[in-house]
Structure 1
Amino acid sequence: MSINSQKINVNSNKLTQVILTSILCSSLFTSSVFAADISFEIEGVNTQPSKIYAQLFNSQDSYSKGEAFSATYLQAKQGINKVIFTNIPVGQYAIRFFQDENNNGTLDTNLFGMPSEGYGFSNNAKPNYGPVGYQDAAFTVTEQQDPVINQTHIIY
């Protein structure tokens, strides 16, 4: 009976060492994850008292589904408006935004489905007989960039 309890104690000590080593290694790897800030500058915004809503997407699929990786808004001002997304990991991203000129929280459209409020995309991507695709608006965040700066001009 004493032999079995010694084996259990030895196995228990080895298991504890393995668990502690795993925790230590995982904390070393997770602490070195790179994150950058994205500064998105929107030019040509009008003086209409309103908000600018911006969404950051991290894949074609999330862009198509409208499932933003991150989203924010700011009070619109005339001239250049700057949207900041912080602690963004390395990867490919696209941004789309609109100026909510009537403050109803949605991008309004006309009878033909065209936006009737200011809008735009990263990389200054422009629609061409349909919505802007993810690849047209996509840009890459790398470990060498901090902050990432992307500029566009609002479309009215």
Structure 2
Amino acid sequence: MKKGIGMALALAAAACAWAGDVETTLTIDQVAPGTGELYVGIFDSEEGLKKREPVAKMKLEAAGSTVSANVALAPGDYYITVYQDINGNGKMDANLIGMPKEPVGIANYSGKGIPGGYEKHKLRIDESNTRVTIVLSRL
């Protein structure tokens, strides 16, 4: 009996932690349909971005020129990146100086000039901001 009560309390605590999450819609534009997959990395700190340790990641099918997915995130600041793995090798290919050879996108980035870091491109996710659009481009 005690084991069942403990399990019920653990499940209730987990449900409370998730209750504060915001259902966020991520839309990726200018996708090359049917070519490779999309890899999304969501970072909640500058340190996580530098260490390449996302708090969430997704792999999405490039089913159309626009792809959308929902993700539940705790309210806060996030840096969101996407790349399309055109050749299907499971990694983002880059040239000798580190510039991506495949389409990439960063939330809160216009696609013009050299992208900045976490502080420049972070965006706030909360109840008033639940939609994020990322446009893929070749740098």
The residue that corresponds to 2:75 in the other structure is: 90
Instruction: Give the one of 65, 85, 89 matched to 1:79.
Output: 65
Structure 2 residue 28 is the aligned partner of structure 1 residue 46: no
The residue that corresponds to 1:21 in the other structure is: none
SS at match of 2:108: helix
SS at match of 1:67: coil
The residue that corresponds to 1:155 in the other structure is: 137
* Residue 55 to residue 115, structure 1, CA distance change in 2 (3 Å): same
Contact 1:53 1:74 in 2 (8 A): yes
Structure 1, unaligned runs of 5 or more? 1-23
Structure 1: 4+ residue segments shifted above 2 A? 30-33, 124-129
Normalised by the size of structure 1, how large is the TM-score?
Answer: 0.70
SS at match of 1:123: coil
Pairing 1:1-156 to 2, within 5 Å after superposition: 31=16, 34-86=20-72, 88-126=73-111, 128-129=113-114, 131-142=115-126, 144-145=127-128, 148-156=130-138
2-structure distance, mates of 1:132, 1:41: 21
Contact 1:54 1:73 in 2 (8 A): yes
Contact 1:125 1:136 in 2 (8 A): no
Matched-pair identity in %: 24
Q: CA deviation at 1:123?
A: 1.6
Give the partner amino acid of 2:107.
S
2-structure distance, mates of 1:141, 1:42: 17
* Residue 127 to residue 96, structure 1, CA distance change in 2 (3 Å): farther
2-structure distance, mates of 1:126, 1:136: 13
Give the partner amino acid of 1:42.
I
The number of residue pairs the alignment matches comes to: 126
Structure 2, unaligned runs of 5 or more? 1-8
Alpha-carbon RMSD across the aligned residues, in angstroms, is 2.4
Normalised by the size of structure 2, how large is the TM-score?
Answer: 0.78
Give the partner amino acid of 2:84.
Q
Give the partner amino acid of 2:27.
E
Give the partner amino acid of 1:98.
Y
